[in-house]
Amino acid sequence: MSSFKQAYQTLERIVSELESGEADVDQLIPLLEEAARAYQSCRAQLEAVRKLLESSDQSGEAPEGGVSREPM
């Protein structure tokens, strides 16, 4: 997955298919594998942001292009 938004939209589409009953049994395994990849992509990107925020919070410096969270 190339972006968080794409991965999230993939998850939404799969959930919609599963909830609507559109997916037949033969499609379940490929759908769940695709959902797992999209979930891992989202999770990895969120984890990277979390680590960036933690490191900037500890150093008091703003992330590249960001706003410092240090009190004025």
- pLDDT for the residue numbered 22: 82
N-term to C-term CA, the chain? 39
**Model-level pTM?**
0.71
**CA 35 from chain center: how many Å?**
11
- Residue 64, in any domain of the structure: no
- Residue 55, in any domain of the structure: yes
- Residue 71, in any domain of the structure: no
Q: Can you give the residue range of the structural domain that contains 31? A: 4-59
pLDDT of 65 over the 90 cut: no
- Residue 51, in any domain of the structure: yes
User: pLDDT tens digits, residue range 35-48?
Assistant: 999 999 999 999 99
**Mean pLDDT lowest for which of 27-31, 46-50, 51-55, 65-69?**
65-69
Count how many domains the chain has.
Answer: 1
- Residue 19, in any domain of the structure: yes
- Residue 9, in any domain of the structure: yes
- Residue 50, in any domain of the structure: yes
